[in-house]
């Protein structure tokens, strides 16, 4: 059973994406939402706060709750982090598994993953293709003590769905280091770009709820297609 405020977030999010409020550009007042969902004002405000932090809306004291009209599609959202399916609706997303194997963590990797040297780790190399365009190369490491099993079948569809829905693990948070660099030879080859073309790189460290690291990855994006969208709040 999910929390009430989460159900309200999901419902309002769906309504916004469906364009239910496009004509007026506003949500109902907090008071009305309280009546609609039959919960306390605190619970409504909790849901509203989450939708604000996701970049969907903003509140103006004395005035109301307004829809934030940003282009939410076609860019990688740094807010929702729900994967390509959410960011690229109605687009053909393909994942080619180049390589998948179990290796032992050397000193450098062990330091990054905060695990012991020699820990078994899945190393996965994937090429992502969207609408037929090469989009990104992913070089990922998963701690096998946390993710006990992985295969090409899973890597081809969605590793995250597998972790969340099948392994029932709680993903907590992630550090993302974002920068530009020159393409390396291997990534350039797979992405169909020239060496020394620009690359948009993201180094990820992903933690479970309890603070343990289960994934470290480097994602090299095709600069011609990949753009990140950050909806910031002050």
Partner DNA sequence: AAGTGGTCTAGACCACCGT
Partner DNA sequence: CGGTGGTCTAGACCACTTC
Token pair of 169 as six digits: 């693990």
Buried b (16+ CB within 10 A) or exposed e, 202-232: bebbbbbeeeebbbbbebbbbeeebeebebe
Pairing of strands 120-130, 133-143: antiparallel
Q: Does residue 58 bind a copy of itself (CB under 8 A)? A: yes
Which of 14, 41, 82, 176 is in the footprint of DNA by CB under 7 A?
A: 41
**CA 127 – CA 121 distance, rounded (Å):** 20
Least CB distance to DNA at residue 41 (A): 6
Pairing of strands 213-222, 198-208: antiparallel
List the interface residues with DNA, window 190-229 (CB under 7 A).
Answer: 209-210
Q: Stretches 13-21, 96-104, 129-137, 178-186: which one binds a copy of itself (CB under 8 A)?
A: 178-186
In 3D space, the residue among 14, 81, 4, 15 whose CA is nearest the CA of residue 43 turns out to be 4
Q: Does residue 234 bind DNA (CB under 7 A)? A: no
Query: By the 8 A CB rule, do 90 and 130 touch?
Result: no
With respect to a copy of itself, which residue has the nearer C-beta, 58 or 123? 58
Buried b (16+ CB within 10 A) or exposed e, 96-118: eeeebeeeebeeebbeebebeee
Q: Does residue 150 bind DNA (CB under 7 A)? A: no
Q: Does residue 91 bind DNA (CB under 7 A)? A: no
Q: Does residue 53 bind a copy of itself (CB under 8 A)? A: yes
Query: By the 8 A CB rule, do 136 and 111 touch?
Result: no
- x/- letters, 185..214, toward a copy of itself (CB under 8 A): -----------xxxxx------x-xxx---
**CA 160 – CA 175 distance, rounded (Å):** 16
Q: Does residue 83 bind a copy of itself (CB under 8 A)? A: no
List the interface residues with a copy of itself, window 15-44 (CB under 8 A).
Answer: 42
Which of 78, 98, 109, 110 is in the footprint of a copy of itself by CB under 8 A?
A: 78
Q: Does residue 166 bind a copy of itself (CB under 8 A)? A: no
**CA 111 – CA 75 distance, rounded (Å):** 32
Q: Does residue 39 bind DNA (CB under 7 A)? A: yes
Of a copy of itself, DNA, none, which one sits near residue 190, judging by CB under 5 to 8 A according to partner kind? none
List the interface residues with a copy of itself, window 86-105 (CB under 8 A).
Answer: none
28: which DSSP letter?
A: P
Least CB distance to DNA at residue 230 (A): 21
Task: Tell me which residues touch a copy of itself (CB under 8 A).
Answer: 42, 53, 55, 58, 60, 63, 66, 68, 70, 75, 78, 81, 171-182, 196-200, 207, 209-211, 221, 223, 226-234
């Amino acid at each position: 059973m999910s929390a009430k405020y989460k159900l309200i977030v999901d419902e309002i999010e769906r309504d916004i994406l469906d364009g239910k409020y496009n004509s007026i550009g506003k949500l109902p007042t907090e008071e009305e939402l309280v009546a609609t969902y039959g919960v306390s004002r605190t619970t409504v405000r909790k849901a509203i706060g989450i939708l604000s932090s996701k970049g969907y809306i903003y509140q103006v004291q004395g005035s109301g709750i307004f829809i934030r009209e940003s282009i939410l599609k076609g860019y990688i959202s740094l807010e929702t982090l729900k994967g390509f399916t959410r960011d690229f609706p109605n687009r053909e997303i393909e994942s080619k598994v180049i390589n998948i194997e179990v290796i032992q963590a050397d000193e450098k990797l062990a330091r990054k993953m905060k695990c012991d040297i020699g820990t078994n780790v899945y190393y996965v190399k994937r090429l992502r293709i969207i609408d037929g365009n090469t989009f990104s190369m992913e070089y990922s490491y998963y701690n096998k003590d946390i993710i006990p099993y992985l295969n090409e079948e899973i890597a081809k569809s969605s590793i995250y769905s597998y972790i969340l829905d099948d392994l029932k693990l709680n993903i907590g948070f992630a550090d993302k280091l974002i920068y530009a660099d020159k393409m390396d030879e291997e990534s350039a080859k797979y992405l169909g770009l020239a060496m020394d073309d620009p690359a948009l790189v993201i180094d990820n460290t992903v933690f479970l709820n309890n603070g343990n690291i289960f994934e470290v990855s480097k994602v090299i994006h095709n600069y011609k297609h990949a753009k990140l969208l950050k909806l910031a709040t002050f």
